């Protein structure tokens, strides 16, 4: 066994796949092939030597991999002496110091190998000795900086703030999502991920295909995150959806939907929520439930012209939206036109329940972590 373990050591600055680290912590009976991805030889001083300091703890382990894993989980451990004992087997001595990468402080010890965890942080992260954790950079987080933030609210929770304003563009990868998404973050009030922004001064055609609504789009002044991303973000925790609307008359305010979720594609990206409430000082009405019950979109599937709903509303409205058994009067993907003579345009109720024509919308989602 010493033929292999006497020559292993963490390699400084190596990019260790997170999957390998997780396997190491859970199942430490590592194969030689697996160890080769994690360790490399410490030239000239790794075989038959120890760092002669008093250990903070010693325990019997199954392998050198388990010894190093135990050290990484112990904030007082900086390095280890891993030794063969004729009675106990393989013993891991956790040490409070390091050799500083040299052989000069080591002493000969038959059947032992000195192992020193160096930088296990990925994606440019650095190990913080005083905190015994990785300090991550950019959009990465996790014990080893191994993953993207799940959304803007998690980024805010772990300290991300805007550089010159509350706005910041980052890459996220929601829980269970197979890919990353570039999103706009509003890093205030707990961190919000922008779902949609639409202005009357921009292109007005939202009669797009199912695939376009699925993957999303960004123009110089319009943004639609995409149904796939919205599904993954909304299903990784308790989410709140914020609808901000401005338009004609007295329409200028916000409305919130709690425990908001979007189903997957197989489910038709069904929209559901369990509660709703107005902004405390600047409110609009509840457009998702405006009018008779058949016009409510809570519990309804998304539809487009190329995947229409059974009532044909997506075709006659000329826009992708959530439709029930009756065409809603508050489809925010219809055309924007606030002129008096305009017909079949996007509308939303003001705080008094009066339908007004829409000129601007911005929607955001926040997950409680």
pLDDT digits (tens, 9 = 90+) for 290-348: 999 999 999 999 999 999 999 999 999 999 999 988 999 999 999 999 998 998 899 99
Distances (CA, A) of 198 to 74, 209, 334: 50, 18, 11
Q: Which pLDDT value is given to residue 20?
A: 28
Report the C-alpha gap between 42 and 116 in whole angstroms: 10
* Chain mean pLDDT for the chain: 84
pLDDT by residue (tens digit) across 77-111? 888 999 998 888 999 999 998 877 677 778 888 88
Distance CA 229, CA 167 (A): 19
Tell whether the model's pLDDT for residue 67 goes beyond 90. Answer: no
Maximum CA extent, the chain: 93
| Helices 64-72 and 18-26, axial angle in degrees (round to 10) | 100
Q: What is the pLDDT of residue 25?
A: 29
* Distance of alpha carbon 236 from alpha carbon 108, whole angstroms: 53
* pLDDT digit string, tens, across residues 125-168: 887 767 767 889 889 998 878 899 999 999 999 999 987 788 99
In 3D space, the residue among 152, 120, 115 whose CA is nearest the CA of residue 133 turns out to be 120
Residue 123 has pLDDT above 90, yes or no: no
For each of the domains in the chain, give its residue range(s) and CATH number, in order of start: 2-115 (3.50.4.10), 149-368 (3.90.215.10)
Q: Is the pLDDT reported for residue 40 higher than 70?
A: no
pLDDT at 13 over 70: no
Alpha-carbon gap, residue 112 to 305, rounded angstroms: 71
Return the pLDDT at 212.
Answer: 97
Which pLDDT value is given to residue 3?
A: 32
Q: Is the pLDDT of residue 22 over 70?
A: no
Are 311 and 349 contacting, i.e. CB atoms less than 8 angstroms apart? no
Per-residue pLDDT for 17 more than 50? Answer: no
Mean pLDDT of the 60-87 span: 85
Amino acid 144: pLDDT: 79
Percent of the chain surpassing pLDDT 70: 85
Q: What is the pLDDT of residue 101?
A: 66
**Nearest Cα to Cα of residue 226 among 239, 235, 214:** 214
Q: Determine the average pLDDT of the residues in 1-24.
A: 30
Tokens of 189: 């009030």
Integer Cα distance of 258 and 235 in angstroms: 13
Q: Residue 42: which pLDDT band, with cuts at 50, 70 and 90? A: very low
pLDDT beyond 60 at 255:
yes
239 against 3, higher pLDDT: 239
| 172, 181 Cβ separation under 8 angstroms | yes
| Secondary structure (H, E, C), the chain | CHHHHCCCCECCCCCCCHHHHHHHHHCCCCCHHHHHHHECCCCCCCEEEECCCCCCEEEECCCHHHHHHHHHCCCCCCEEEEEEECCCEEEEEEECCCCCCCCCCCEEEEEEEEECCCCCCCCCCEEECCCCEEECCCCEECCCCCEEECCHHHHHHCCCCCCCCCEEEEEECCCCCCCCEEEEEECCCCCEEEEEEEECCCCCCCCCCHHHHHHCEECCCCEECCHHHHHHHHCCCEEEEEEEEEECCCCEEEEEEECCEECCCCCCCCEECCEEEECCCCECCCHHHCCCHHHCCCCEEEEECCECCCCCHHHHHCCCEEECCCCCCCCCCCCCCCCCCCCCCCEEECCCCCEEEEEEEEEEEEEEC
Q: Which residue(s) pair with 83 in the sheet?
A: 91, 112
**More reliable by pLDDT, 5 or 83:** 83
Q: Residue 13 has which token pair?
A: 């600055």
Quick one: 175 exposed, middle or buried, by C-beta within 10 A (0-12, 13-18, 19+)? middle
Tell me what pLDDT residue 351 has: 96
CA separation, residue 295 to residues 25, 81, 163, 299, 328 (Å): 53, 70, 43, 11, 5
Better-scored residue on pLDDT, 203 or 268: 268
Average pLDDT over residues 218-239: 95
Mean pLDDT of 15-22: 28
């Amino acid at each position: 066994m010493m033929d292999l373990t006497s020559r292993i050591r963490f390699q400084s600055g190596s990019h260790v796949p997170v999957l390998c680290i997780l396997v190491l912590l859970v199942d430490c009976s590592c194969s030689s092939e697996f160890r080769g991805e994690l360790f490399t030889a410490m030239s000239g001083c790794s075989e038959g030597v120890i760092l002669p300091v008093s250990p903070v703890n010693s325990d019997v382990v199954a392998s050198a991999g388990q010894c190093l894993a135990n050290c990484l989980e112990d904030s007082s451990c900086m390095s280890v002496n891993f030794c063969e004992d004729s009675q106990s087997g393989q013993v891991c001595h956790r040490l409070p110091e390091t050799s500083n990468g040299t052989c000069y402080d080591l002493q000969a010890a038959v059947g032992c190998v000195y192992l020193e965890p160096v930088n296990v942080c990925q994606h440019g992260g650095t190990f913080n000795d005083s905190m015994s954790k990785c300090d991550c950079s950019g959009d990465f987080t996790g014990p080893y900086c191994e993953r993207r933030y799940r959304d803007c609210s998690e980024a805010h929770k772990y300290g991300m703030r805007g550089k010159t304003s509350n706005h910041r563009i980052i890459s996220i990868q929601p829980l269970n999502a197979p890919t990353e998404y570039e999103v706009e973050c509003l890093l205030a009030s707990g961190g919000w991920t922008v779902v949609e922004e639409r202005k009357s001064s921009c292109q007005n055609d939202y009669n797009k295909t199912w695939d376009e609504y699925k993957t999303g789009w960004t123009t110089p002044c319009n943004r639609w995150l995409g149904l796939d991303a919205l599904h993954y973000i909304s299903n990784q925790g308790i989410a709140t959806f914020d609808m901000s609307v401005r338009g004609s008359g007295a329409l200028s305010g916000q409305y919130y939907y709690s425990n908001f979720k979007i189903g997957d594609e197989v489910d038709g990206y069904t929209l559901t929520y369990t509660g709703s409430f107005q902004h405390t000082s600047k409110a609009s009405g509840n457009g998702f439930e405006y009018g008779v019950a058949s016009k409510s979109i809570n519990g309804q599937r998304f539809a487009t012209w190329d995947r229409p709903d059974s009532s044909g509303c997506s075709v006659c409205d000329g826009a992708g939206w959530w439709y029930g058994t009756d065409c809603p009067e508050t489809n925010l993907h219809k055309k924007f036109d606030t002129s008096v003579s305009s017909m079949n345009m996007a509308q939303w109720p003001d705080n008094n329940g009066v339908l007004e024509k829409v000129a601007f919308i911005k929607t955001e989602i926040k997950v409680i972590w």
